[in-house]
Amino acid sequence: MFKLGDPYSSARRPVVDGMRGAISAAHPLAVSAGARAFDLGGTAADAMIAAQAVLTVVAPDACGLGGDMLALVHAPGGEVTAINGTGAAPLAYAGEALEGANAITVPGIVDAWTQAHARFGRLPLADLFAPAIRLAEEGFRVGTNLAAALVAQRPRLIAGGAESWPLFDRKTGDLVRLPVLAALLRRIAAEGRGAFYQGAVPLAVEQAVVALGGRLGQADFAAHDTVVRAPNGCNWAGLRLHTQPPATQGILLNMSLAALERAAPAVGIAADHAGIELTEAAFAYRARAGEGESLLAEVLDFDPDRALHRGGPRAYLHTAGVACADAEGMVVSSLVSVFDDFGSAVYVPEGGFTLNDRAAGFGPAPNDPAPGKRPIHTLAPALLTGPDGAVWAMATPGADGQVQTLLQVLQKARVEGIDLATAVAAPRWRSENGAVLIETGHPQAEALKTLDHDIRVLPAGDTRFGAVVAAGLQGGIPHALADWRRLTSAGAV
């Protein structure tokens, strides 16, 4: 499916392979938790849950129990299942501005874990949560990025009542313990979804939200469900590309790659220009992403000689990815998120987490807000299957940048034949609010200016260019690859 190269094919990170399984995740401690799950005899879904649980502890700026989870699971028999662990707007929503306490949807991650575990897991949740619980109880060190987010979001955290959070005002290198979060994870492991969607947690959420003028409450938690269904799919470059179905904008990746394949631009400036223009064209359909595969009938066009300045993609950044593969044939692509840094920044002291602000993802009709309605999500993990039995999972943070980052990596790795590690490491562009952000060292930066693109060069590794996690099964061997950007890491056992 992809050319993997030798172990040192990338100046950044090599592709690693394992016997039992392989994992790539947004934080090295999450990779350790996933590898432990494989060592205990767990599946790729077990490894995903273990890794995500750790991320909710050590990366609360990006994800948490107050947020969401989406996953694509390739079962050993070949069936691909999409798990939509997102929530709806409050049933009592009455047209308030979608900000602060009124930007919160029902957190979906916990129910999504229980659904994924029931269908694809093997180990007890207590085993899977053990590394996360230990980190929350015994402590973890605050990293540079988390410390910077705490400084940048301090006013929002104060407004959200987070001054009692043990993380509040912590600096790089500080040891932080989160005993309340540890206790909640332990209850979820013992009692399942009821520990989160019934009783004390919904009551505590309601009290925190209502005190700040919001409407999310216990009735919303009681009505929550996880949507499990088939993914979007299309044929591309001899492979089958699976993406998250509604209510996500994953279909925009299918649309963009299909249009790019039809255009068949030459490698270099033509391919980058076409990629920028076609993803901008796809984002014109974002509000209609709920139509799913039917959007593949829409024709995306562009001018090969000049930029049309259609804008489209917006400036959101956050989320954390986990991709896993096991030797039995299960491959998982997933993302967890609270949307903005710390989500709404509304803190629930009885649970030790902040709540998302995913309702800010509503927009023009048919994606307009309404009571009990899910907004279109930016989360767009991808999974590719090939006629040779190979399967690869890929995901990246970056909100509207997700579609653009994956398009560039897949175009280079599959169409241009560059080995996967080099494709992931290569400098990227990102269309955002009418400008084209581009990493220092990108070979087409100057040439794109001649096509009238508004080029803004940013330092290599800027968070706006994402951080790809990738794992797959190729030749019967589990593989994983981590982007060099952010704290992304990979491991195998």
Per-residue model confidence (pLDDT) at position 399: 86
Separation CA 31–CA 333 (nearest Å): 14
Task: Write the DSSP assignment of 56-69 as a string of letters.
Answer: HHH-TTT--TTSEE
3 state DSSP class of 492: strand
Strands 477-482 and 16-17: antiparallel
Q: Give me the sign of the Cα torsion angle 279, 283, 288, 289.
A: positive
Per-residue model confidence (pLDDT) at position 11: 58
The rounded Cα 314 to chain-centroid distance in angstroms is 16
Separation CA 92–CA 468 (nearest Å): 38
Residue pair 80/242 in contact by the 8 Å Cβ criterion: yes
Separation CA 193–CA 197 (nearest Å): 6
Encode 351-367: b = buried (16+ Cβ within 10 Å), e = exposed: bbbbbbbbbbbbeeeeb
Strands 140-141 and 353-354: unpaired
3 state DSSP class of 445: helix
Domain chopping of the chain, boundaries = 16-229+319-382, 234-316+398-468
Q: Considering only CA atoms, which of 88, 128, 124, 85 is closest in space to residue 108?
A: 85
Angle made by CA atoms 400, 403, 404, in degrees to the nearest 5? 90
Residues with Cβ < 8 Å from 98, sequence gap 6 or more? 359, 360, 362, 369
Per-residue model confidence (pLDDT) at position 55: 98
Q: Can you give the pTM of this predicted structure? A: 0.96
User: Alpha carbon of 333 to those of 129, 247, 276, 322, 399: distances in Å?
Assistant: 19, 17, 24, 6, 16
Residues with Cβ < 8 Å from 181, sequence gap 6 or more? 56, 57, 65, 136, 351, 352, 353
Q: What does the pLDDT profile of the chain (493 residues) look like in tens digits? A: 877 765 444 457 899 999 999 999 999 999 999 999 999 999 999 999 999 999 999 999 999 999 999 999 999 999 999 999 999 999 999 999 999 999 999 999 999 999 999 999 999 999 999 999 999 999 999 999 999 999 999 999 999 999 999 999 999 999 999 999 999 999 999 999 999 999 999 999 999 999 999 999 999 999 999 999 999 999 999 999 999 999 899 999 999 999 999 999 999 999 999 999 999 999 999 999 999 999 999 999 999 999 999 987 876 667 999 999 999 999 999 999 999 999 999 999 999 999 999 999 999 999 999 999 999 999 999 999 999 999 999 999 988 999 999 999 999 999 999 999 999 999 999 999 889 999 999 999 999 999 999 999 999 999 899 999 999 999 999 999 999 999 999 999 9
Separation CA 327–CA 162 (nearest Å): 43
The rounded Cα 36 to chain-centroid distance in angstroms is 22
3 state DSSP class of 150: helix
Per-residue model confidence (pLDDT) at position 2: 76
- Backbone φ and ψ for 152, nearest 5 degrees, come out as -65, -35
| Token couple for 233 | 């799919």
